[in-house]
C-alpha cells in the first residue's frame, strides 16, 4: 500500500490509509495514546489503543516529539480532532527516534534563533516557507510571461554599486573584491544583448543598524529594460506586485489563515490601482495629514514612510526624489530631482521596490561618481554602455524578503527566510 500525504489521506476521508511524518504532539493514558503527526502538508491525530497493540503498546511510551514514524489505520472525520480527522491506528513503525527535542514549551526568541535548523519544522515556518515558494515562482512567472530573459550577474564584483558604507569586502587572491549589493551595473551591459532581463539572486549589504527590515544577505528580484521610459518601469513594478499578491491569495489561503493575516490590503493591492505621488507631494501630505514636517531634500525616513502607508491600503509609489539622496545612476529630472521611485508597502512594512530611469549622459555619470568619492576609471566597463549605442533604459529591485514579511504579516524580516543573516546572527 502506498503512503499518502496527510492532506491526501484527509481527502480520501475514509477507509484504510498509510501515512508517515514526525510526531507533533503526544499524550495519553495506560489504555490510549493520542499522537498527532505532521508532514509537509498538514497534521493529523492518530489514536493507538492498548487492546489493538497489546505488548507493543509499551513501545509507544518512548515515542517523543519529532520522532519519525509510519502509521497505518482507518481514517474518519472527527470534529474534535485538531485538523478535523482522526486515524485509528492498526500498525506503526518508528523510523528515527527523537529524545528531548530542544524546542519545548520555552520558546524565547533567542532559543528559536539558536535552533533555527529545528524551528524550520514549526507550523509557522512551514506556512511562511510555502508562501515564500509561491512568491519566488510568481516572480519568475511574471517576468517570463512579459518576455523577459533570466540573466545572471557575478556575485563577486570589482566595483561597489550602491556606495561604500554597507559593502562587504572579500579577499580575492592578491586583490580585493566586493559582494554584490545589486546586479545593476552588469545588468545594464546585459540589456544590449537581451533587451529585457531579470534575475532573482542574493544581494549583500553590511547593514550595521539593527532593524526589523534589514538582512545582510537577502534575495533581490531585479529587472532592467532597454528602450524603456520611467512610466514603463513603474508599471512593471505595479504589475509584478499585483501578480505576486494575486498568486499568494489564490494558492496560500490556508497559510494566510494560519498566520492570522487580515487580507484587506492584499485584496486591494491585487485589484486597485496603486497610489502615486511625487516626493514633493508626499511632503505636503505628511505635513497636512500626519503633522510631520520634512525639509525638502531630506530622504524619507522609516517614520515618514510608515505614516504615509497608514493613509492607504495599496502600495504607494513615490517618484521624483531629490537628486542628492539617490544613487549616481538615476536620470536627472527638473528642479534637482531624479526619475527614481520607491514603492512603499501598506501597514508600515517600508520600502519594497526601488527603481529608476538610468542616466545616459556620460559626463553627468562621471561627475556624480566623483562626487561620491569614486574613481570613474574603475567604471570603464559601465561607461562603455553609454559609449556604444546608448539607449534610454531603466529598472528596479525588489527585496523578496520585504514582500514576504509584508504578505505574511510578520513582525520581523528574520522569519521570512530559512537561515537569516544579520550583523549578530550567522549561525546556524
Ligand atoms: P532601505 O532604505 O530600506 O535600506 P535601500 O534604499 O537601501 O532600502 P535599494 O538599494 O533601493 O534599497 O534596494 C532595492 C530593494 O532591496 C529595496 O527596495 C528593498 O526592498 C530591498 N532591500 C534593501 N536593503 C535590504 C536589506 N538589507 N535587507 C532586505 N531587503 C533589502
Ligand atoms: Mg539600505
What atom of ligand 1 comes closest to residue 220's alpha carbon?
Answer: 16
Both 223 and 261 in one domain: the answer is: yes
Number of domains within the chain:
2
What atom of ligand 1 comes closest to residue 413's alpha carbon?
Answer: 29
pLDDT of residue 161: 67
Both 221 and 264 in one domain: the answer is: yes
Q: Is residue 373 part of a domain?
A: yes
Both 91 and 162 in one domain: the answer is: no
- Ligand 1 atom 1: residue of nearest CA: 351
Both 289 and 218 in one domain: the answer is: yes
Beta-sheet pairing, 68-77 with 85-96: antiparallel
Instruction: Decide: 244 in ligand 1 pocket, CB within 6 A.
Output: no
pLDDT of residue 176: 94
Both 71 and 207 in one domain: the answer is: no
Angle between helices 380-387 and 362-371 (to 10 degrees): 160
pLDDT tens column, 344-384: 999 999 999 999 999 999 999 999 999 888 899 999 999 99
Domain boundary among 96, 129, 154: 96
Centre of ligand 1 to C-alpha 211, Å, is 12
Q: Please, what's the b/e burial string for 55-94 (b: 16 or more CB within 10 A of its CB; e: otherwise)? A: eebeebeebebbbebebbbebeebeebeeebbbebeebee
Instruction: Decide: 214 in ligand 1 pocket, CB within 6 A.
Output: yes
* Lookup: cell for 27: 499524550
Instruction: Decide: 349 in ligand 1 pocket, CB within 6 A.
Output: no
Centre of ligand 1 to C-alpha 34, Å, is 47
Both 84 and 134 in one domain: the answer is: no
- CA distances to 56, 68, 99, 160, 220 from 155, rounded to whole Å, are 56, 39, 41, 11, 12
* Distance from the Cα of residue 403 to its chain's centroid: 5
Both 133 and 235 in one domain: the answer is: yes
Q: Is residue 367 part of a domain?
A: yes
Give the CATH number, domain containing residue 31.
2.40.50.140
Regions of the chain where pLDDT drops below 50: none
Q: Is residue 426 part of a domain?
A: no
Centre of ligand 1 to C-alpha 389, Å, is 31
Both 238 and 279 in one domain: the answer is: yes
The ligand placed nearest to the CA atom of residue 206 is: 1
The ligand placed nearest to the CA atom of residue 326 is: 1
Instruction: Decide: 33 in ligand 1 pocket, CB within 6 A.
Output: no
Contact between 71 and 58 under an 8 Å Cβ cutoff? The reply is no
pTM of the model: 0.97
Q: Is residue 358 part of a domain?
A: yes
User: In 3D, which of 49, 41, 129 has the Cα closest to residue 88?
Assistant: 49
Instruction: Decide: 85 in ligand 1 pocket, CB within 6 A.
Output: no
DSSP one-letter code for 43 = E
Q: Is residue 103 part of a domain?
A: no
Expressed in angstroms, the distance from the first to the final Cα of the chain is 38
Centre of ligand 1 to C-alpha 118, Å, is 29
Q: Collapse the DSSP code of 86 into the 3-class scheme (helix H, G, I; strand E, B; otherwise coil) and give the result.
A: strand
The ligand placed nearest to the CA atom of residue 182 is: 1
Query: What domain range is 297 assigned to?
Result: 114-416
Both 143 and 186 in one domain: the answer is: yes
Instruction: Decide: 351 in ligand 1 pocket, CB within 6 A.
Output: yes
Number of other residues whose CB lies within 10 A of the CB of residue 172: 11
Q: Of how many residues is the chain composed?
A: 428
Domain boundary among 33, 68, 96: 96
- Ligand 1 atom 6: residue of nearest CA: 354
The ligand placed nearest to the CA atom of residue 162 is: 1
Domain boundary among 96, 125, 155: 96
Q: Is residue 106 part of a domain?
A: no
Both 366 and 406 in one domain: the answer is: yes
pLDDT tens column, 189-239: 999 999 999 999 999 999 998 899 999 999 999 999 999 999 999 999 999
Both 76 and 135 in one domain: the answer is: no
Q: How far apart are CA 225 and CA 215, in angstroms?
A: 27
Contact between 222 and 198 under an 8 Å Cβ cutoff? The reply is yes
Give the CATH number, domain containing residue 210.
3.30.930.10
Both 290 and 343 in one domain: the answer is: yes
Q: Is residue 325 part of a domain?
A: yes
Q: Is residue 424 part of a domain?
A: no
pLDDT of residue 421: 97
Amino acid at each position: 500500500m502506498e503512503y499518502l500525504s496527510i492532506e491526501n489521506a484527509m481527502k480520501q476521508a475514509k477507509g484504510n490509509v498509510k501515512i508517515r511524518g514526525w510526531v507533533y504532539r503526544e499524550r495519553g493514558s495506560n489504555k490510549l495514546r493520542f499522537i498527532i503527526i505532521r508532514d509537509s502538508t498538514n497534521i493529523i491525530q492518530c489514536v493507538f489503543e492498548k487492546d489493538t497493540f497489546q505488548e507493543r503498546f509499551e513501545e509507544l511510551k518512548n515515542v517523543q516529539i519529532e520522532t519519525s514514524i509510519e502509521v497505518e489505520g482507518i481514517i474518519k472525520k472527527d470534529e474534535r480532532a485538531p485538523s478535523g480527522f482522526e486515524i485509528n491506528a492498526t500498525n506503526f513503525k518508528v523510523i528515527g527516534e527523537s529524545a528531548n527535542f530542544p524546542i519545548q514549551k520555552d520558546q524565547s526568541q533567542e532559543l528559536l534563533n539558536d535552533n533555527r535548523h529545528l524551528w524550520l519544522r514549526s507550523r509557522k515556518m512551514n506556512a511562511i516557507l510555502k508562501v515564500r515558494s509561491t512568491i519566488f515562482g510568481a516572480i519568475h512567472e511574471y517576468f517570463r510571461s512579459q518576455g523577459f530573459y533570466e540573466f545572471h550577474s557575478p556575485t563577486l564584483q570589482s566595483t561597489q554599486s550602491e556606495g561604500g558604507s554597507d559593502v562587504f569586502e572579500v579577499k580575492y587572491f592578491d586583490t580585493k573584491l566586493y559582494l554584490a549589493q545589486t546586479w545593476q551595473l552588469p545588468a545594464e551591459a546585459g540589456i544590449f544583448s537581451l533587451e529585457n532581463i531579470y534575475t532573482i539572486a542574493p544581494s549583500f549589504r553590511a547593514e550595521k543598524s539593527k532593524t526589523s527590515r534589514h538582512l545582510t544577505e537577502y534575495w533581490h528580484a531585479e529587472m532592467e529594460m532597454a528602450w524603456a521610459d520611467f512610466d514603463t518601469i513603474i508599471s512593471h513594478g505595479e504589475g509584478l506586485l499585483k501578480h505576486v499578491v494575486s498568486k499568494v491569495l489564490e494558492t496560500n489561503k490556508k497559510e494566510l489563515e494560519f498566520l492570522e493575516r487580515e487580507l484587506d490590503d492584499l485584496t486591494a493591492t491585487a485589484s486597485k490601482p496603486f497610489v502615486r505621488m511625487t516626493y514633493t507631494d508626499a511632503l505636503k501630505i505628511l505635513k497636512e495629514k500626519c503633522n510631520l514636517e520634512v525639509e525638502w531634500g531630506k530622504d524619507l525616513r522609516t517614520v515618514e514612510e510608515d505614516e504615509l502607508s497608514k493613509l492607504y491600503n495599496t502600495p504607494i509609489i513615490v517618484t521624483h526624489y531629490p537628486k542628492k539622496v539617490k544613487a549616481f545612476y538615476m536620470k536627472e529630472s527638473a528642479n534637482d530631482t531624479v526619475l527614481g521611485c520607491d514603492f512603499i508597502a501598506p501597514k508600515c512594512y517600508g520600502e519594497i521596490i526601488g527603481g529608476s530611469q538610468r542616466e545616459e549622459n556620460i559626463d553627468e555619470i562621471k561627475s556624480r561618481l566623483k562626487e561620491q568619492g569614486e574613481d570613474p576609471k574603475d567604471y570603464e566597463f559601465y561607461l562603455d554602455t553609454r559609449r556604444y549605442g546608448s539607449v534610454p533604459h531603466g529598472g528596479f529591485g525588489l527585496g523578496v524578503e520585504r514582500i514576504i514579511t509584508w504578505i505574511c504579516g510578520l513582525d520581523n524580516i528574520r522569519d521570512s527566510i530559512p537561515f537569516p543573516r544579520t550583523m549578530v546572527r550567522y549561525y546556524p
